[in-house]
A and B are shown apart, each in its own frame.
Chain A
Amino acid sequence: MSNLELFDEDLLDNPSARVPVCLVLDTSYSMSGKPIDELNRGVKMFMEEVLADEMASLSAEIAIVTFGGGVQKEVEFASIEKQTVPYLTTSGNTPMGEAVNLALDMLEARKKTYASLGISYYQPWMVLMTDGAPTDDISIAARRTSDLINNKKLTIFPIGIGDKAHMETLQQFSPKLPPVRLKGLHFKEFFMWLSQSITMKSRSTPGEDIKALPINPWADLSL
């Protein structure tokens, strides 16, 4: 479960500033069936798109945490070349708070890794997706993300899936950007947008912070 023996030479050789991106995905039982299939497809496409872009593949580093039954590190931070696409399955309840806390710990630890080796980085991005409501206490996690966001140390994209997604909960994690409900099961469109945004981020970057989440093909306009 750890990569203690994994030597990632890119940490020494790759001069690009990194953008750590953590996907925090709901894999509770309610996601079974078509939703989890679409999510898997979206994640796969996302990782392939990032790898395909010459610049994003050198800048973006991806980690994936899932919450369904327990909390799982599905993909740990590494250069995208070395990663494998996870196959996500569903199970149990929705420990969202614990998942967000783990994701924040991972992001923090990754930043420490960058700093100790002299690698520049941009403040991390977190994508939080759920189709329901948390089954654990989210207050600490929500306070942590809010503080980071207010200090410009994190950008969060809170995404609701389907009618039962508890948007008020998502809102608690995100003092700046309002949560957006995904249009149907348009995960692919969302992840396409995300990889494009990362590509832009890794290129010309007039500003370091995200200003607004635009209306786009994956968001439900009826929100």
Chain B
Amino acid sequence: MEITDLIQNYIVFVDTSSWMYPEGTKFLQQEFPAALHSHQKKVRISGKVIEEVNKHIKGDDKKRAEEAKVAAKLLNQYHTHKILDIYQDPDDPFQDQAILAMFMKYRTKFHLAMITQDRNFARDIEDLNEQGSVKSSKIIKVFYLDREGRLQPWVKGVKQHELDRKKRETATNPASRPLKMQENIHRLPLGTKVETGLDTVIPVSYFPKEGESVRTQKYGELTLVKEIGSGGEGSVFLTSNGMICKIYTQITKARIEKLKLMLKIPFEKKGICWPKDFATNSKGEYIGYVMDKAEGKVMQTSMFHKKLLQKNFPHWTRSSLVELAINILDKVLYLHERNIIIGDINPFNIMIKDSNDVYLVDTDSYQIVNYPCPVGTINFTPPETQGMRYHEYLRTFKHEYFAVATLVFMILMPGKTPYAHQGGGTPGEDIKKMEFPYPFGDYRGNAPDGVWRYIWSHFTYALKKRFYQVFSENNRLTTAEWVSVLEEYRRKIKLGHTNDEIWPTSSKIADDDAAHVTCSKCNTPFIMHINKKRDLDADGKSYICNSCLMIMKVTKVAKNEAAAAKQTAPRQRPTMRPATQRPRAMSSTWTPSSTRTTSSTRPASSTRVTPPPRAQQRQKQNNQQSTGLFGIIKKFLGI
């Protein structure tokens, strides 16, 4: 079809993948805009194109960033010459879906065309032609740009030159081979059955220790400079070339086979500490692998408590949390595109240097084809696999998406798990019941007290909806969908449409509904919803600020707790206590405005709990669990 025919008769859309296709530049820079201009037509894009291009410009992938810059330049030129129209539905972050919806809506009125390099997307749009429910004389066409920058039609998700090649192959080889996916991504097959029978331990004559050396093919001999962590599986060392070496305590056939498979995958992504080479001892026996060094601090212990987060990342705001989540999901997505399932997503396996500099560690536990991820944690295990033994089944993307959503939730609500709620129980039970406690629509919920409710109330409607959809309706979003949701949330924060505070001190109150009052307990001025003030005034009650209310609630709860477990009769203390250890009574006062009172009304010795000096040394670089004296015990305990 001639380009002139196309733009005169069709409404033409161009997808991000084509804007960024290097060989397409010629067409998009010359032939296409010239034709549009001369016929006074416009090309249409969805708002997502701009978001995606910008994301790639800032991304880690240098090649993609360059392509994105070219695309951005093109788009700006189109915009300047008024041959570009942008469609954005602000309420729907999933622009792919929005475009499909738009095609559905207008297919009876106009001829529509889409230019995309994305096979799946092309197929989705082509399929609209075959939906027989609507009789339409209008046509939907889908094109791609070939290597010479020519516009070519997709034929049921297959490119023209692939069809040609298939014809040639069929001609020469009657037992025709299936078409190969023509993409850069090396996609592994999905696992079908857990690999078994490979648990045999392979005898190893010697495991090198700190100060000794290991051999690698790619990096030569490396000295184990310093042990930086150890756990049930083995120890992790910093080596002489700055890389990290993990040495197992035990080598099995499965371990070696899985690593071999992982080393075969072409893999280059900053922030994923993927195995780079085998490590062997002086006899050439496999003992572990080397990987790039992760930087930063373990997520769990650096940001999952207000005081930790404020100490480690004092400059962070809510936008930083969103950016952090996007950066982590960007890496998760890279893995998912290759059919690699992480399995054990959890905040001990993520290291954070800053919100835009994160590392995924412990990659050797990832699920690779039929090798399961043998570990996991309760909080990130979906209801349907709670209680199952991690090494005995293969996880699905659906399982993984539960973990992804949980991670996003715990980043945005620093450290709080989605199902923790009033009247709740153990984390596993709470997940199985799927009682998501945060209010949405008509659902009131029984959310945890304090800051968690306030954070939730400040979330955008779209974000609340997605969390509710996943945790209450069990309808999970893909990683890519979460990235869109988060990008939209970040945009809303940047625009000032929602709060940039990490820990807001009250629920969201619109300016028009805000009443300025003073707390009757601590005399602090604060903002109250006008309706609530009205109710309190009507009942003749005084105003109490949130922090005083919380103190009252916690105090009441503490009182109930003390009353429920009374000791029968306090006995006389014997006089064996040495004079130096004489009990010291500490006074206690309740000051509502203070955030912390330290007191104990009970006589206590003067020995305050202080951490032993090696506490600092314990701050592990990797997330390897400490062995101490009892590392092995964990295996027995199964914890």
Does B599 belong to the interface (CB within 8 Å)?
Answer: yes
Residues of A within 8 A of B (CB-CB), count: 85
A192 touching B417, Cβ below 8 Å: no
Report the nearest B residue to A4, measured CB to CB. Answer: B559
* Known pairs A15-B304, A120-B426, A192-B629; A84 contacts B449 (CB<8 A): no
The answer for the CA separation of A211 and B638 in the assembled complex, in Å, is 6
Instruction: From the candidates A58, A108, A208, name the one contacting B564 in the complex (CB within 8 A).
Output: A108
A193 touching B568, Cβ below 8 Å: no
The answer for the CA separation of A210 and B634 in the assembled complex, in Å, is 10
Does B220 belong to the interface (CB within 8 Å)?
Answer: no
Residues in A with CB closer than 8 Å to B559 are: 2, 4
| Binary contact readout B298-328 vs A (1 if CB under 8 angstroms, 0 otherwise) | 0011001111100000000000000000000
| Binary contact readout A147-186 vs B (1 if CB under 8 angstroms, 0 otherwise) | 0000000000000000000000000000000000000000
A2 touching B601, Cβ below 8 Å: yes
Does A137 belong to the interface (CB within 8 Å)?
Answer: no
Q: Chain B nearest CB: distance from A204 CB in Å?
A: 5
B564 touching A200, Cβ below 8 Å: no
A203 touching B625, Cβ below 8 Å: yes
The answer for the CA separation of A206 and B378 in the assembled complex, in Å, is 6
A6 touching B588, Cβ below 8 Å: yes
Does B615 belong to the interface (CB within 8 Å)?
Answer: yes
Residues in B with CB closer than 8 Å to A209 are: 638
Is the interface on chain B under 10, 10 to 19, 20 to 34, or 35 or more residues? 35 or more
* Known pairs A6-B599, A16-B304, A48-B609; A110 contacts B561 (CB<8 A): yes
Report the nearest A residue to B599, measured CB to CB. Answer: A6
8 Å CB interface, A59-74 against B = 69-73
A7 touching B390, Cβ below 8 Å: no
B376 touching A81, Cβ below 8 Å: no
Does B272 belong to the interface (CB within 8 Å)?
Answer: no
Does B77 belong to the interface (CB within 8 Å)?
Answer: no
A90 touching B619, Cβ below 8 Å: no
B305 touching A15, Cβ below 8 Å: yes
Residues in A with CB closer than 8 Å to B555 are: 4-5, 7
* Known pairs A1-B601, A48-B609, A85-B608; A15 contacts B561 (CB<8 A): no
A206 touching B390, Cβ below 8 Å: yes
Does A212 belong to the interface (CB within 8 Å)?
Answer: yes
Instruction: From the candidates A70, A116, A203, name the one contacting B557 in the complex (CB within 8 A).
Output: A116
Q: Chain B nearest CB: distance from A138 CB in Å?
A: 16
Instruction: From the candidates B376, B452, B630, name the one contacting A118 in the complex (CB within 8 A).
Output: B452
Q: Chain A nearest CB: distance from B567 CB in Å?
A: 5
B567 touching A102, Cβ below 8 Å: yes
A15 touching B567, Cβ below 8 Å: no
A11 touching B609, Cβ below 8 Å: no
Q: Chain B nearest CB: distance from A205 CB in Å?
A: 6
* Known pairs A13-B451, A87-B581; A199 contacts B557 (CB<8 A): no
Q: Chain A nearest CB: distance from B450 CB in Å?
A: 4
Instruction: From the candidates A69, A72, A90, A196, name the one contacting B629 in the complex (CB within 8 A).
Output: A196
Residues in A with CB closer than 8 Å to B1 are: none
8 Å CB interface, B431-468 against A = 437, 446-452
Report the nearest B residue to A46, measured CB to CB. Answer: B609
A193 touching B450, Cβ below 8 Å: no
B595 touching A9, Cβ below 8 Å: yes
A70 touching B571, Cβ below 8 Å: yes
Residues in A with CB closer than 8 Å to B301 are: 54-55
B598 touching A193, Cβ below 8 Å: no
The answer for the CA separation of A56 and B165 in the assembled complex, in Å, is 62
Does B420 belong to the interface (CB within 8 Å)?
Answer: yes
The answer for the CA separation of A69 and B581 in the assembled complex, in Å, is 21
The answer for the CA separation of A92 and B113 in the assembled complex, in Å, is 91
* Known pairs A113-B558, A205-B378; A108 contacts B605 (CB<8 A): no
The answer for the CA separation of A73 and B86 in the assembled complex, in Å, is 69
Does A47 belong to the interface (CB within 8 Å)?
Answer: yes
Taking chain B's interface residues, is the majority helix, strand, or loop, or is none over half, making it mixed? Answer: loop
Q: Chain A nearest CB: distance from B431 CB in Å?
A: 10
Residues in B with CB closer than 8 Å to A1 are: 567, 570, 601-602
The answer for the CA separation of A13 and B310 in the assembled complex, in Å, is 13
| Binary contact readout B613-624 vs A (1 if CB under 8 angstroms, 0 otherwise) | 011001100000
A115 touching B424, Cβ below 8 Å: yes
* Known pairs A1-B567, A4-B562, A106-B565; A199 contacts B423 (CB<8 A): no
Instruction: From the candidates B306, B564, B599, B611, name the one contacting A51 in the complex (CB within 8 A).
Output: B611
A206 touching B376, Cβ below 8 Å: yes
A193 touching B633, Cβ below 8 Å: yes
B416 touching A196, Cβ below 8 Å: no
The answer for the CA separation of A207 and B378 in the assembled complex, in Å, is 7
* Known pairs A1-B570, A3-B558, A70-B571; A49 contacts B600 (CB<8 A): no
Q: Chain A nearest CB: distance from B360 CB in Å?
A: 16
Which of B154-162, B207-215, B572-580 sits within the interface? B572-580
A197 touching B637, Cβ below 8 Å: yes
Residues in B with CB closer than 8 Å to A214 are: 632-633, 636-637
* Known pairs A15-B417, A49-B612, A52-B615; A116 contacts B607 (CB<8 A): no
The answer for the CA separation of A196 and B625 in the assembled complex, in Å, is 10
* Known pairs A118-B424, A119-B448; A87 contacts B378 (CB<8 A): no
Q: Which of A15, A49, A52, A121 has the most CB of B within 10 A?
A: A15
B636 touching A212, Cβ below 8 Å: yes
A87 touching B305, Cβ below 8 Å: no
The answer for the CA separation of A33 and B580 in the assembled complex, in Å, is 18
Residues in A with CB closer than 8 Å to B379 are: 17
Report the nearest A residue to B413, measured CB to CB. Answer: A15
Q: Chain A nearest CB: distance from B217 CB in Å?
A: 32
Does B219 belong to the interface (CB within 8 Å)?
Answer: no
The answer for the CA separation of A85 and B562 in the assembled complex, in Å, is 20
Contacts A118-B421, A203-B300 aside, 9 further interface pairs with beta carbons under 8 A come to A47-B609, A54-B308, A73-B567, A87-B581, A116-B423, A120-B420, A120-B427, A205-B378, A214-B633
Interface CB pairs A-B, < 8 A, 19: A1-B570, A5-B589, A9-B554, A9-B596, A12-B450, A12-B451, A15-B413, A72-B570, A73-B565, A81-B609, A98-B568, A108-B564, A109-B564, A116-B560, A122-B427, A196-B629, A210-B639, A211-B638, A214-B636
Residues of B within 8 A of A (CB): 300-301, 304-308, 344, 346, 348, 375-379, 389-390, 413-417, 419-428, 430, 437, 446-452, 550-551, 553-555, 557-562, 564-571, 573-574, 576-577, 581, 588-590, 595-602, 604-612, 614-615, 618-619, 625-626, 628-630, 632-634, 636-639
Residues of A within 8 A of B (CB): 1-9, 11-17, 44-45, 47-49, 51-55, 58, 69-73, 76-77, 80-87, 89-91, 98, 102, 105-106, 108-110, 112-113, 115-123, 189, 192-193, 196-197, 199-201, 203-214, 216-217
What 4 A-B pairs come out closest when comparing CB atoms?
A118-B448, A70-B571, A15-B415, A52-B611
